[in-house]
Amino acid sequence: MNHGANGDLKIFAGRSSEVLTERMCAHLKMDMGASHTVVFPDGELLVKLEEDVRGRDCYVVISTCAPVNDNLMELLTFVDCLRRASAARVTVVTPYFGYARQDRKDEGRVPITAKLVANLITAAGADRVLAVDLHAAQIQGFFDLPVDHLSATPVFLDYFNTVRKELGDLCLVSPDVGNVKVSEGMANLLGGDLAIINKRRLSGSTVVTGNLIGSVEGKTVLMFDDMISTAGTVVEAAKLVMNRGAKQVIAAATHGVLVGPALERLSSDLISKVVVTNTIPQGDRVGPLKGKLVELCVSKLLGEAINRIHNNQSVSALFQKNAGTKR
């Protein structure tokens, strides 16, 4: 890719996504945009661009993971900064979109914060959004902007196809009913059976697992979800399938949120491997999972999507190997 084709393309990184953005830029054979974020003693942020963006096609990559509100404020400030520096187009790239679980009123007197965040990004001056595996597909409709919703399925497929022989007799288990479509898609793509667990959620951190529909006896169980947060769902599901005679359990999720008791829960013998992507940087905090955690990289997927958007090509062509999205 020559510099001429991408001469007016600029990709900037927020603090949460610097490593991922560097890899995206390496894939596109270009330098990352120069900027820095200053945090003042009172906690306020200042984003400063260190190069000219006037008339350019600009992308800012920030996962709004923990600390969620700091990263979200940095994202909004970054968009405003690019807009005021006369960028021709500003695309927000959120590999992980925080507040996505607050996507509906499931009881009285609660907000729909996912919609509020979409409004904030729009009000800040973004022109379009690029996201990976939103918690619910309908969040795309919360934005009054074009949204390119990527699936990390191709990244997982590449990995699991390389270790497919070791997995042996495979069963894709959906840890909840909302994820059946994704699990069914992966079962078809990897060649495995499908089983479903119906779970009941008692609160934000407590899940009671119900029945297993299907057989897992003697099989390697692969559980897919869009995120692993406290790991309550996946560990309860692992207990259930191991009790039903599963050989081993592999937990896979696009977003390794891994908060609270997650690391301790996942380090138990119930789960043999945890596979996540680097939409959320793990850094040094995953000590207890050493040797068990596999981190896949989404930089080529995102880099290719940016390249296609920049050159006005189809992004949906990236969805050929796709297991669908959670509903």
More confident residue, 182 or 273: 273
Distance, CA of 141 to CA of 112 (rounded, Å): 13
DSSP conformational letter for 204: S
**In terms of CATH architecture, what is 154-296?**
3-Layer(aba) Sandwich (3.40)
Phi/psi of residue 4, nearest 5 degrees: -60, -45
Q: Are strands 45-49 and 35-39 parallel, antiparallel or unpaired?
A: antiparallel
Contact 223, 256 (CB under 8 A): no
- For helices 113-124 and 68-84, the axis angle rounded to 10 degrees is 20
Sheet with 293-296, side-by-side order of all strands = 207-213, 193-201, 170-174, 220-228, 248-256, 273-277, 293-296
pLDDT value of residue 4: 43
Residue 77 has pLDDT above 90, yes or no: yes
Distance, CA of 86 to CA of 312 (rounded, Å): 21
pLDDT by residue (tens digit) across 218-266? 999 999 999 999 999 899 999 999 999 999 999 999 999 999 999 999 9
**In terms of CATH architecture, what is 9-152+299-319?**
3-Layer(aba) Sandwich (3.40)
322 C-beta neighbours (distance < 10 Å), count: 17
Query: CATH 3.40.50.2020: which residues of the chain?
Result: 9-152+299-319, 154-296
- CA 292, 244, 264: angle at the middle one, nearest 5? 30
> Given 29, 115, 181, 199, which residue is catalytic?
199
Active site residue 165: no
Helices assigned H by DSSP within 88-203: 113-124, 153-162, 164-167, 180-190
Residue 14 has pLDDT above 90, yes or no: yes
pLDDT value of residue 211: 87
Distance, CA of 195 to CA of 214 (rounded, Å): 5
Distance, CA of 251 to CA of 262 (rounded, Å): 12
Q: Are strands 9-13 and 57-61 parallel, antiparallel or unpaired?
A: parallel
The proportion of the chain whose per-residue pLDDT surpasses 70, expressed as a percent, equals: 93
pLDDT value of residue 3: 39
More confident residue, 282 or 208: 282
167 C-beta neighbours (distance < 10 Å), count: 20
Going by C-alpha positions, the residue among 72, 16, 58 that lies closest to residue 49 is 58
Contact 282, 263 (CB under 8 A): no
pLDDT value of residue 208: 67
pLDDT by residue (tens digit) across 39-64? 999 999 999 999 999 999 999 999 99
pLDDT value of residue 179: 85
pLDDT by residue (tens digit) across 139-168? 999 999 999 999 999 999 999 999 999 999
